[in-house]
Structure 1
């Protein structure tokens, strides 16, 4: 047995510089990535209430630029089959600001904040998770509500930009309740993948965020925070009620995002390394 171990541990003759180069190119194991994300989530769970609220509010404000970015590109592109391929790039703007700026986004915490609870399940950790989720989600909603109101009443932006955002937002009205849940599941999965992939991205964080969030827009998937900005704008413009925005658009999107982010990605990511912890 010891001979087999020695055979596995034998390396070819290399200089120290070459060994360092090999180490730099080794991909992080799933166990290492899990621990990085878990520690990040544990830090978020310990943040003061005021910090979470302000960061979540800033996240809601910043994510509203995703709707603006996609709407502006769509309004300037011709009606062609390739247009969504270009317009979807605009949707990534808000996610770049929020994720790389370390602002609080509810859907991102469906992975990072869940791993500490999955690793050490207890009522205390569950309480910390529910506290984080509730504070961040409410703060995100307040942020998108605030920006939607400012856009609708012309305090920021131009009438042309408001019309472009409304044209984009009307797509949400096409989805019945359960369809909204279904189209929100892939969005939750993709956003939960972001904090999992970032630790091994080796300086390519910008491209990772753009690539994964691009497909949310391209697939017309529903993201609860970005989509809430659209839902509030529709309500402010009188094209639906605030009750329908909250319970007919935001609520099913929230459910789908949690299923995709926590029910699928987070639990599967934890299960693959559970026996190694």
Structure 2
């Protein structure tokens, strides 16, 4: 029988403890071999594609569509599935590292060069994985009878029909939420709590249709591969602005602010 006090077991981690855990984890990732980071990023890019694919299935089979509350809630829920696979599976996602990998640089434990190396390898791996998944999904899944090409087009158009300012600002909010998720996941002490956090935070991104550079990479590629309505220019504009926005959101609104308040005496 355990002697541990239940109150102690449920005690929240302090902000300093969370920061120290993030520093240890991020420095470890920065020192990993290039091939390990690239393969982890590739795995994440592949796995996250299941969320957008399930969205296409919902749009195909549901009598509703975008704008219908029930369908929107279901779409946000299945959008989160890919993030569950990635985050609980401990693969590397660029948008998590817009917060995680910035903090060691701010703390003086890593250089900008190391940050660029980590970001570059994980980002390239994520994009290649997403490209591979989108190509396989658009070629093979329509034959299963549960996905129509029109659903792939609809998902992509939902992201690329906005102006460039919205893509950047929406990307900032998506990066902010992903950085916050990475912080909260570190603070959570049980798998159930982490799972719930992933569904809440990434479901919010899905519900608001915010441009997430990695999941959105798959969504827009769906349209690019299946519809003439989406062009290479649409894809590149989305990817560039979503990526920059994500980096600003995670780096400024989470990494800088969380680090700043903790090192200035937070408990």
Give the TM-score of the pair, scaled to structure 1: 0.86
The reply to whether residue 35 of structure 1 matches residue 25 of structure 2 is no
CA RMSD of aligned residues (A): 2.1
Looking at CA atoms only, which structure, 1 or 2, has the larger radius of gyration? 1
Deviation of 1:162 after TM superposition, in Å, equals 4.7
Deviation of 1:236 after TM superposition, in Å, equals 2.0
Gaps of 5+ in 2: none
Q: Which residue of 2 aligns with 1:11?
A: none
The reply to whether residue 64 of structure 1 matches residue 49 of structure 2 is yes
Answer yes or no: is the 8 Å Cα contact 1:91–1:213 preserved in 2: yes
Structure-2 separation of matches of 1:236 and 1:21: 54
2:212 to 201, 215, 223: 223
Moved more, 59-68 or 145-154: 145-154
Answer yes or no: is the 8 Å Cα contact 2:42–2:128 preserved in 1: yes
Q: Which residue of 1 aligns with 2:255?
A: 266
Deviation of 1:177 after TM superposition, in Å, equals 1.3
The reply to whether residue 138 of structure 1 matches residue 124 of structure 2 is yes
1:106 to 94, 104, 109: 94
1:249 to 233, 238, 242: 238
After superposition, residues 4-43 of structure 1 pair within 5 angstroms as 17=3, 20-43=5-28
Q: Which residue of 2 aligns with 1:83?
A: 71
Deviation of 1:159 after TM superposition, in Å, equals 6.2
Answer yes or no: is the 8 Å Cα contact 1:148–1:233 preserved in 2: yes
CA spacing shift, 1:180–1:273, aligned 2, 3 Å: same
Q: Which residue of 2 aligns with 1:189?
A: 176
Answer yes or no: is the 8 Å Cα contact 2:152–2:223 preserved in 1: no
Deviations 1:76-99 (A, max 9, x none): 333233321122100011000000
Answer yes or no: is the 8 Å Cα contact 1:110–1:192 preserved in 2: yes
Q: Which residue of 2 aligns with 1:55?
A: 40
Deviations 1:16-58 (A, max 9, x none): 958x333223211111111111111111111100001111111
1:272 aligned counterpart, secondary structure: helix
Answer yes or no: is the 8 Å Cα contact 1:232–1:242 preserved in 2: no
Answer yes or no: is the 8 Å Cα contact 1:187–1:223 preserved in 2: yes
List, as ranges, runs of 4+ consecutive aligned residues in structure 1 with deviation greater than 4 Å.
none
Q: Which residue of 2 aligns with 1:149?
A: 135
